[in-house]
Structures are given as C-alpha cells and as structure tokens.
Chains A and B, each alone.
Chain A
Amino acid sequence: MAEPLDAIDPEEIVLRRVHLQYYKPNAPVRIDRGAFKPTPSDVDGISLYRASRVSAQQVQGERGKPENYAVVRLSARAVLALGVRLSPAERPDDPLPGHMVIPELNCTEYLRDKTHLKELTRKLAEIANGEDVLPPATPPA
C-alpha cells in the first residue's frame, strides 16, 4: 500500500519546542526529559513540527515569547527507532504548518504506562542532546 503523501521521511528533521524550565545548558544532558512529557492538553500526543515546513525560529516565536523557549532538532530516524510513530496532524487553527504528534506520548497513556514512557522521554532527551539546539532568544532590553 502506498504511503500517504505527507508521511514522514526518516531523513527528515522534526522540531520540538522546549520551555526554559527544561533547558539545562550546563548539564550532561542539556534537555530535561520533562520537555517530552505530555501535558493534560496532549490528548493526541506531544507536538512537533517538520523542519521541511517551518523554521526553528518560527517554532520558537510562535507563542510570542522566544526568550522562554529553546527548540530542539531531532532526527526522525532516531525518533522512529524508539518504536514510536510520527503522525502528521495539521491543525486548521495552527499558525504554523507541519504539525505532527507522537501519538504514543499522550497524557492518558503516560499515566497508564509510566515506567516505559518515562524511559522513552529520557531517550528523547538524550537524542536531543546530540543534535543542534536553538537556545532561548536573548530577552529584549
């Protein structure tokens, strides 16, 4: 069966917005695993964006406070190798194109299968550590 046109290519890069609270530039793993924990709003999985459709700077600034967010670039191949999916999930109200989710990392599943998904979030943080990170923007003077 043919893949849907918007299916992720393992060679793609995906972007994850990371709140300042989870950015630890001096730690051995500088992105805290909390950056990949679902929130109660993540009923369909945590959000990412395709780097082929949107820039890291756009993702960082989408909430209007780029000084509060870092953006990590993740190899789709490395993420898929963890046994999760990267599902396109364009949202009509999303100002940015290229929205995707990791369906396995949704808030219900996280509470149900905590030990496994805790380890998964930590592995995502370790992958992010080996990749480029756009640090939080310098706050305006």
Chain B
Amino acid sequence: MSQVMTPYAPYLPEENAVTGPLSPAAALRRREEWTRVVKRIRELGGLGDDWDGQGASPPRRENVNAAMRWAILAMDQPKAVPPTYVAPGTMGEITVEWESESCYLELEFREPMRAETMWERRGLPTVHETIDDPSGWYVQEE
C-alpha cells in the first residue's frame, strides 16, 4: 500500500502548487524532473572512495539501487512531487530532499529495505520515522 505524505503541499512554492489533475505540459515537466532525479541517483552511484577528500565512503550499491527503485515507482504516481535535491551521504547512504522556505523533508536510504525520514516544519517539533519498505512512499500536494 502506498504511503502518502500530504502535508508538504501547503509549503510548496506557488508555481508548483497543484490542486487538480496536471495539465499535459505540467505532467511532462514533472516527468522530466523525475528523470533528472533518477539520473542524479545513478551518477551518485559512481562516486568513489573518499569522494569528498575528507574520508567519505562511496554510496553503497544496494542503497543506490533502493533509491533508484523508489524513484522509478514514485515517478509513475501522477501527483508525486519530485525531490528538490538528492545528496550522497558520508557513510554510504543516499538522501532525497524536499525543501521550501518553511519545510524540509528528507528520505534517507541507508539499508536496502529500510529508509528513514526527517520532517521539519517551522514552529513544530521535528518528526523522525523509519519506513520498512519505502518503495510505495511518496510526497504529494494536497
């Protein structure tokens, strides 16, 4: 079953807000954004040992694969919002992030079948969760 994280929506910049079905042009644009996300994850899989010159481990193959699998599934959800950034971790993980002026949400692939979220909203306590199978998890607008 899909897990949908909806409350991110109100914090999206106005131009990204979607309240009804996406227009064909918007759907195409979103598809392109997802394609960039998948490409970025693949690229991060090519980082080597000590990629940051400060001792970082390269992203582990199983985490790259899990992040890729997640992104490919999420991109088929019409309202799934693509992450605003994808970052390599320093200990083999991959982190995807959604960020706006008042909200920060991340999904961190640290183990093949498990991911961790951290969700910050202005004025509210930060929420941490562990997701056993992140493959059906995505962020959507309200």
A residues contacting B by CB (< 8 A) are 17, 19, 21-22, 24, 27-29, 32, 34, 37-42, 47, 63, 65, 68-69, 107, 110-111, 114-115, 118-119, 122
Contacts and interface: CB of A to CB of B under 8 A. Distances in A.
A21 B50 CA distance: 13
Contact of B90 (A38, A114, A122): A38
Interface in B39-71: 51-57
B88 A21 contact: yes
Contacts of B54: 17, 19, 39, 41-42, 47
Given A21-B88, A29-B104, A107-B91, A40 B55 contact: yes
B95 interface: yes
B2 interface: no
- What secondary structure prevails in chain A residues at the interface with B? mixed
Contacts, number: 67
B55 A24 contact: no
A42 B88 contact: no
B89 A34 contact: yes
B22 to A, nearest CB: 23
B87 A29 contact: no
Given A27-B85, A28-B99, A42 B52 contact: no
B120 interface: yes
A68 B99 contact: no
B126 interface: yes
Nearest to A20: B52
A101 B116 CA distance: 27
Contacts of A110: 91
Contacts of A27: 84-85, 99
